[in-house]
Amino acid sequence: MPHFVIDCSTPILEQELPEDIMQKVYDTVKSTGLFVPEEIKVRIRPFQHYNTGNTDDDFIHVFANIMEGRNTIQKVNLSKQIVTALKAMFPKVPIISMNVRDFEKATYCNKEMV
């Protein structure tokens, strides 16, 4: 925990290496100080088939799944920092967005907990 899942159009990976994109997100998340660095997980899912407002415009969307407990200001800052970093990396990509979802601590489980 936390998990950052990057959805993007396949052509994004022709502009930058997947490892570099994931590292940029990881470094940005780490810089917020909200999470234990060793617990930050980042992955990328490219899509060959997509429709963005009835166009084939490239896109990047980051889904942040974090444990509940951070306040709205912290989550807004997290989103803005990641979108800013990706915007600098991909200045010509028209759609770059992100949202933050909270996991409920009461219902979360991993293998260490069973």
Q: Is the pLDDT of residue 2 over 90?
A: yes
Tens-place pLDDT, residues 4-42: 999 999 999 999 999 999 999 999 999 999 999 999 999
Question: Mean pLDDT across the stretch 102-108?
Answer: 93
Helix H or strand E segment including 72: helix 72-89
Check if the beta carbon of residue 67 is closer than 8 Å to that of residue 30. no
Q: Is the pLDDT of residue 1 over 90?
A: no
pTM of the model: 0.95
In this predicted structure, what is the pLDDT of residue 14? Answer: 97
* Strand 59-67 relative to strand 3-9, pairing: antiparallel
